[in-house]
A and B are shown apart, each in its own frame.
Chain A
Amino acid sequence: MESLWLSMKLATCVAVILLVIGMPVAYWLAYSNWRGKFLLESVVALPLVLPPTVLGFYALVAMRPHGPLGKLWSTLFGHGLAFTFAGLILASVLYSFPFAVQPLIASFESVDRRLLDASSVLGAGTLRTFWRVILPLSLPGVVTAIVLSFAHTLGEFGVVLMVGGNLAGVTRTVSIDIYDRVQSLEYGEANRMALVLLAISFAVLSVVYAVNRRPWAPWAAK
């Protein structure tokens, strides 16, 4: 069960990081009037259509000792990035980016613009408007973003295999572990882990759909 624990740790880190960097990106994508916005939107959505091996391959190229990221990392921390947990987090953040950003954009955009105008004429700047109005009204989107990036990271396979390899306790996540077990014909063990993953995925999606139905949302009219 070491691999399951590792996957949980990875997914949690990725969800937290994505929430922090996803919010400003989503805010900008939701409210900017820049004409070239579609370019960034495409970049953000890219991991949705790219085969994980392609993303993983380029991540690996960037992270190898002589790659741009790998070099930067070793000057900063004194060791390489490929086949480490940190490298895994980085690649997973890229891979799950759209799963965090898209629900945030959708919920930011669904906030009535007149509420933002009202906040503005009442003297609130961008930051205060964000904390007091946009964020509270986007809570379902925020929950969806956290849960989806968590779940998506939990289930990833190709990217991890490319970037992380298969080091027990460092980069061997649960999906890779399952694959390993099947390769070595340990079907019972594979089944146990697969069931746990299935249960977690189901629970997580239930949370997303339940939150988005939001009949108990505090602002819903009674």
Chain B
Amino acid sequence: MLTARIRKEFRRPGAASFLLDVSFEVSPGITILFGASGAGKSTLLDCLAGLSLPDEGRIVAAGDALFDSAARINVPAPKRRIAYVFQSLALFPHLTAEENVAYGLPDLRNEERRERVAAILKAFRVEKLRNQKPGDISGGEKQRIALARSLVTDPRVLLLDEPLTGLDADLKAAIVDDLRAWNAAKGIPVLYVTHSRDELDALGERAIALDNGRVVSAGAPMEVLNAPRRKKLAQAAGFENLLSATVLDLRESDGVMRVRLGENPCEIEVPLGYASPGSRVQVAIRAGDILLATEPPRGLSARNVMEGRILSLEHRGAMIIARVDCGVTFLVHVTPGAARALELSAGNRVWLVLKTHSCHLVD
């Protein structure tokens, strides 16, 4: 497990300063760190690896504090045991593949070093290239050697900075499969940075979206992908309900926070976003993501159940749009069949059911 809280400000002459201010967790397995270029991804990785110094924060890997501004702890990069594969791979051009991989193992006996290097070259299917120098090795194979070099040292965490850019999808998938196979036994947290939506979909078990130095959403890749980050985007993407809300409290360990909608006692739970208690956020919800019940629902996994009254029902094509007043007005899509079966009509008392991750934060 890797937990990190990092704050770092960059002052650039002639440009607005950039603030990286994030807090997140990476559990064993592959987590995708997603964001456009300039969102602060590489800086974040540099801070985790100890190549860049945060202004403030705390980084803990496998139980050991690697950085803690309050306790004045700053473990230097060579002692962090955090493996890091750069976008450029940074293979040493004057060393062979085998020497590159052995680089991180200077303290082992020759025999043991040779065995470990041979084993990992085999696991990543590049054993036949061991005497070649990086200049003579093709793209995908260089990536494999860079991975092998990082993992042979038995790191606590693996950071990957767009290491597979420029490879076709099949090759990419094959390399990730080998990475997964290797990590199946080790179970270390892998943070995989990318700006490509395809990779977000295909590779990760979890995802963290970074925008302008902040974590804007975290969760399953699909949810992160679907969380719009701009109001305009939200409306364009068909979020019929766009509600302003006040943050009540953050439950960081659950990855959620409670917000109050409008000025009313209507409270719901939404995914954790970059916000502090008392601040205002915008919550976007698709009308089709809301369930409607005519009796108080029980035993549901959904965290948000709100009581309200139907204001109106409006036929639109094959869909009925119900306007429901729960203190704030929600638009809910219902099929005509469901409306008939439930005998819906204006003035009915109803309950709306909303999953936490159907609520998207926009700024």
Contacts and interface: CB of A to CB of B under 8 A. Distances in A.
A117 B94 contact: no
A219 B51 contact: no
Given A114-B88, A222-B136, A121 B80 contact: yes
A115 to B, nearest CB: 5
Nearest to B52: A117
B14 interface: no
Q: Interface size for chain A: under 10, 10 to 19, 20 to 34, or 35 or more residues?
A: 20 to 34
A78 interface: no
Interface of B: 46, 49-51, 77-84, 86, 88, 90-94, 103-104, 106, 133-136, 149-150, 153
A36 interface: no
B46 to A, nearest CB: 8
A221 B136 contact: yes
A137 B93 contact: yes
Contacts of B104: 122-124
Contact of B94 (A119, A125, A137, A221): A137
6 contacts: A117-B77, A117-B90, A121-B51, A123-B106, A136-B94, A219-B134
Contacts of A122: 78, 103-104, 149-150, 153
Given A128-B106, A133-B92, 14 more contacts: A112-B88, A112-B90, A114-B86, A117-B86, A117-B90, A118-B86, A118-B91, A119-B92, A120-B51, A121-B150, A123-B106, A124-B78, A125-B78, A219-B94
A218 B81 CA distance: 31
A20 interface: no
Contacts of A219: 93-94, 133-135
Nearest to B82: A121
A220 interface: yes
A137 B84 CA distance: 22
Contacts of B106: 123-124, 128
B135 A222 contact: yes
Contacts of A124: 78, 103-104, 106
B92 A118 contact: yes
Contacts of B82: 121
Contacts of A119: 92, 103
Nearest to B146: A118
A118 B90 contact: yes
Nearest to B86: A114
A132 interface: yes
A118 B83 CA distance: 9
Interface string A57-84: 0000000000000000000000000000
Contacts of B49: 117, 121
Contacts of A114: 86, 88, 90
Nearest to A128: B106
Nearest to A129: B78
A132 B80 contact: no
A9 to B, nearest CB: 34
A215 to B, nearest CB: 13
Interface string A128-152: 1000110011000000000000000
A218 B133 contact: yes
A117 B76 CA distance: 12
A121 B103 contact: no
Interface in A30-51: none
Contacts of B93: 115, 137, 219
